[in-house]
Structure 1
Amino acid sequence: PEGGQVYHGKAGTTAQSTASALEVEPGDFAGLVIPGGYAPDMMRRHEAMVNLVREMDNQGKVVAAICHAGWMLASAKILKGRTVTSFFAIKDDLVHAGATWVDQEVVEDGRLITSRTPDDLPVFMRAVVRAMQGV
């Protein structure tokens, strides 16, 4: 994916990227939020995006993932020994990647924050904001 590209959500919303994953420096950000739905399955097919997630985690930045975003965490190989949650259907994928999976609204394992579904957004976003303010 390139900077300036417009992405369309399933509900008709649009978002335009300002830079590609190759153009950003992890040190310039407090963290990142990986969206849910099926976007993470597309995102993890791009090595630069996977590397960005891995490097953010390596630098101790906040990495937040909701719903199916756990797929990106598995591809970035940052789950071994971590406790996470996600949409229930990808539980086995995360466990096979080395995570301990729990069924909770939000799980904070260090600077890794995970959540299950859009119903959990209020508690998830409070955790994300709190973590990023603590940077």
Structure 2
Amino acid sequence: MDVRDLRRVMIFVEDLYEEMELWYPKYRLEEAGFEPVLAGPEARRTYQGKHGYPARSDASFYDLEERDFLGLIIPGGFAPDKLRRIPKVLDLTRKFMQARKLVAHICHGGWICASAEVVSGFRMTSTPGIKDDLVHAGALWVDEPVVVDRNMVSSRRPDDLPLFMGACLEVLESSILPF
């Protein structure tokens, strides 16, 4: 399948995800004509957000492959701390990076990228709470609302979501333009 035919974007989900950082990207992707796929450890399971709002996964990430998606978005909350311990999550994240497809993370989402060992030499941001983790993994951390470095987009917190998704959509659109 040609990458220009892809419109699907994977979004990781697990219990204690940050609601705004999942739902805002999901709706913005839909508005822009993309197909967001909520991928959790189990297919069609309901995961509870930090504030109790449910999100039902579309698929299990164990059944998915990077080649079938245009990009990956990693919401924050405490879910990334759980997800970064799962080898399949780290493998998917590495494969998106190796394919130079969108890898976008906000707030604590950068934990997954640090654990996947894909941040070294990348300029990025996050919540200040994981700054040290990213720096120790080799990232060039800055305190800015949104940072785009090659195929990686990062932001700090829910207030940054409009800029975050604007940058994500730019990266996605540029990856499907005719060559």
* TM-score, normalisation: structure 2: 0.73
Instruction: Structure 1: state its 5+ residue gaps.
Output: none
Offset from partner CA, 1:90-128 (integer Å, 9 cap, x none): 111000000110010000110100000111011001111
What CA distance in whole angstroms lies between the structure 1 residues aligned with 2:174 and 2:52?
34
1:10 aligns with 2:67: no
Greater Cα shift, 87-96 or 20-29: 20-29
CA shift at 1:22, angstroms?
2.0
What CA distance in whole angstroms lies between the structure 1 residues aligned with 2:51 and 2:57?
18
CA shift at 1:15, angstroms?
1.3
Superposed CA RMSD? 0.9
What CA distance in whole angstroms lies between the structure 2 residues aligned with 1:59 and 1:85?
22
Q: State the partner residue of 1:91.
A: 131
* Partner SS for 1:103: coil
1:1-135 aligned within 5 A: 1-135=41-175
Share of identical aligned residues, percent? 49
CA shift at 1:12, angstroms?
2.5
Which ranges of 4 or more aligned residues in structure 1 deviate by more than 6 Å?
A: none
Greater Cα shift, 45-54 or 5-14: 5-14
State the aligned residue count: 135
Q: Which amino acid aligns with 2:149?
A: D
